[in-house]
Amino acid sequence: MKILYIADLIGKPGRTMFKYHIPSIRDKYAPDLVIVNGENASHGFGLTQKNAKELFNAGVDLFTGGNHSWDKKDIIPMLEEGRVLRPMNYPKAAPGSGMKIVEADDAKLAVINLMGHYTMPMVDNPFTMIVEEVSKLHDKGIRNIFIDFHAEATSEKRALMAMLKGKVSAICGSHTHVGTDDLVLDEGTFYVTDVGLTGCRDNVIGMDTKEPLERFLRGFGGKFDVPNHCKRILQGVLFEIEAGRCVDAFKIKAYDEREVEIVQHAYREV
């Protein structure tokens, strides 16, 4: 099965880039499943039902989330329906789920949304929780496992890879909005610390530069905002899973309306 994962799709510019490029991505790479981290899809903070439906109609199969999952309260019914995930390690009383088992290419895939600790809201320990959940999936015969690890600290993400390599199919980091080049295939697990944003590229992590600069220069500022006009980028990863092991993975990127290109293949550890 082939999976396309796009992280931190930000506001209207991100939605525009996805809708423009997804037809050519489907034609060229034929993904069986399209997963998008959509917690910033509605003007940078949260995901509304309207924008979720817009992106479902454009080709998203499943959304993952993060610390902004709750910013738009009207999304809660969709969290309960299961096509929009929120981090698994929020309290059990929180609406929705952090995992969904889907069918793709005549096989089952467990999609897990997990959140780190550093600078994040108070949640359960992601490391102790995920060990138990992966073990349960293995007991059920499910070996195709993808984790969106929404975390600030690169050390947390790398530590999760060290703990789970050979046990899950892929771990892709989200949240920082800055893509990394450490794509690797190790013991059948694909890993990248952060996929990077899809949205505005000529500012500060997809947001208008005014408020971030105010915070750096004065020590305080107002609400971050997504620009109406900007230079845009799409970033994602495509990976292929066979019998629980990732066999190929690469990063794609597109600038504005330029053609989507493969910019990096995962390094294969031997």
> Which residue out of 68, 150, 175, 177 is catalytically annotated?
68
180, 192 in Cβ contact below 8 A?
A: yes
Rounded distance between C-alpha atoms, residue 86 and residue 109, angstroms: 17
Is the Cβ–Cβ distance between 47 and 63 less than 8 Å? Answer: yes
Q: What is the end-to-end Cα distance of the chain in Å, rounded? A: 23
> What is the distance between the alpha carbons of residues 8 and 177, in angstroms, rounded to a whole number?
6
Q: Which amino acid is at 169?
A: S
Distance in angstroms (rounded) separating the CA atoms of residues 123 and 89:
6
Strands (E), 116-260: 145-150, 170-174, 184-186, 189-192, 199-200, 232-242, 245-255
Contact 16, 22 (CB under 8 A): no
Is 175 considered catalytic here? no
Active site residues: 68
